[in-house]
Amino acid sequence: LSIVDRLSAPHRGPIPFSVEFMPPRDAEGEERLWRTVRTFERLGPAFVSMTYGAGGSTRDRTVRITGQLASQTTLLPVAHLTAVNHSIDELRSLVGAYAAQGITNILALRGDPPGDPLGEWVRHPRGLTYAEELVRLIRDLGDFHVGVASFPEGHHRAPDLEQDTRALVDKLRAGAEYSITQVFFDVEHYLRLRDRLAAADSEQAAKPLIPGIMPITSLASVRKMVSLSGSVIPVDVEARLAAAAGTGDQEDRAAVRAVGIDLATEWAQRLIAEGAPCLHFCSLNFAKASTEVLARLGVDITSAVPVVAG
Ligand code: FAD
């Protein structure tokens, strides 16, 4: 089943939603991840995705857990895959390992240099340079459904937004069926990317542009995240969060969280009004903040009946 098919299937609430998980670091983290997975499973996300880390042991765990999502839950998993430190042969066998576990939805990414996401990109000597090449590689390997990343504020390495939009169009033309955006904190950035895409290639612009959304629960964490990704917290958003955080040594986490949930709900409502195809929640392996936003949007989060994936 493809993500595109899934997005057009019936869903609860005003818009389909999806959830991003990340590989847990240890057994305790894995337990928490599974509690979160089960919470979301009851709410019927269109799909869930699992990010792909840079280190060897995390990578093995990622492949295993993504397989378990496919075999032990009703969820439709998307496996992220990056070209970092992989030869083409290794990428081929990873795709094969996913296929063997019944996973045919893959998010094709270049990835960032390990250790320093803003550092110099060094291609594996027998590897790939751009995500577009990974899209082609996966498509050549069989009947896979491939998605890619998109960047409403432009990718931090792109010289300008025009070139970044061209790179996205190239990935879609290479066979990607949809893209998921980097998290943003101003819906205008998403809408402008959608406009740029429509102006660049109307056929590719018809493919789902899925907005990444993250309820902010800590001002310190979001500042750090932004410094690593090259995106920006708008002045008004920063002001609301800073007012909630207070002036003490420690930020007032409960107050920041409340504002973070208000903000995410406002972004989601605007995205729904603007016809976004899905809301992709970056959960950081926690369910509470995202489910609170979903409840505010009118999704019945008290229902205990799992929605069976088609
Ligand atoms: P690309 O599309 O290859 O783009 C990389 C840069 O090259 C861009 O600046 C682009 O404009 C430019 N470019 C592309 N093609 C060309 C070309 N032909 N000629 C010249 N320039 C070109 N990282 C992880 O490590 N693991 C994950 O699981 C993960 N998941 C992510 C999920 C989402 C939704 C997003 C938005 C990002 C994710 N990332 C992940 C981060 C991502 O890997 C980095 O942002 C990375 O720097 C860019 O990846 P990409 O696939 O967009 O690369």
Considering only 34-38, 175-179, 303-307, which range has the smallest mean pLDDT? 303-307
Confidence grade of residue 297 (pLDDT, cut at 50, 70, 90):
very high
Our answer on whether the CB atom of 128 is closer than 6 Å to any ligand 1 atom is: no
pTM over 0.90: yes
Catalytically annotated residue among 20, 41, 177, 292: 20
Regarding the beta carbon of 167 and ligand 1, being less than 6 Å apart is answered yes
Tokens of 65: 């857990």
Model confidence over 227-274: pLDDT tens digits? Answer: 888 789 999 999 999 999 999 999 999 999 999 999 999 999 999 999
The reply to whether ligand 1 has any atom less than 6 angstroms from the CB of 111 is: yes
Mark out the alpha helices in the chain (DSSP H runs): 3-8, 27-41, 56-72, 88-100, 131-141, 161-173, 187-200, 202-205, 219-229, 235-245, 253-273, 288-296
**Percentage of residues in the chain with pLDDT exceeding 70?**
97
Question: 110 alpha carbon to ligand 1 midpoint, in Å?
Answer: 5
Select from 129, 167, 5, 187 the least CA-distant residue to 78.
5
Length of the chain: 310
Of 65, 94, 130, 153, the residue with max ligand 1 atoms within 8 A of its CB, to mutate for a pocket test, comes to 130
Please tell me the distance between residue 186's alpha carbon and the centre of ligand 1 in angstroms: 21
Q: Which residues pair with 107 in a beta bridge?
A: 80, 147
Q: What is the mean pLDDT of residues 12-34?
A: 95
Please check whether residue 281 is in contact with residue 40, taking contact to mean a CB–CB distance below 8 angstroms: no
pLDDT at position 305 is 56
**Residue 309: pLDDT over 70:** no
**HEC states along 45-84?**
CCEEEECCCCCHHHHHHHHHHHHHHHHHCCCCEEEEEECC
Residue 306 pLDDT: 52
CB atoms within 10 A of CB 102: 10
Q: Is the CB of 153 under 6 A from ligand 1?
A: no
* Atom 19 of ligand 1, residue of closest alpha carbon: 167
Q: Note the pLDDT tens digit of each residue in 94-131.
A: 999 999 999 999 999 999 988 888 889 999 999 999 99
302 vs 64 pLDDT, higher one = 64
Which pLDDT tens digit goes with each residue over 60-97? 889 999 999 999 999 999 999 999 999 999 999 999 99
Among the listed ranges 10-14, 130-134, 184-188, 302-306, which one has the minimum average pLDDT value? 302-306
Residue 146 · residue 116 · CB < 8 Å: no
With CA atoms as reference, report the closest residue to 98 among 81, 74, 75.
Answer: 81
136 lines ligand 1 (CB under 6 A): no
188 is catalytic: no
Ligand 1 nearest atom to the CA of residue 229, by list position:
45
Atom of ligand 1 nearest to the CA of 108: 51
pLDDT band for position 56 (50/70/90)? low
Q: How far is the CA of 1 from the centre of ligand 1 (A)?
A: 25
CA–CA gap between residue 77 and residue 62 (Å, rounded): 12
Does ligand 1 have an atom closer than 6 angstroms to the CB of 301?
A: no
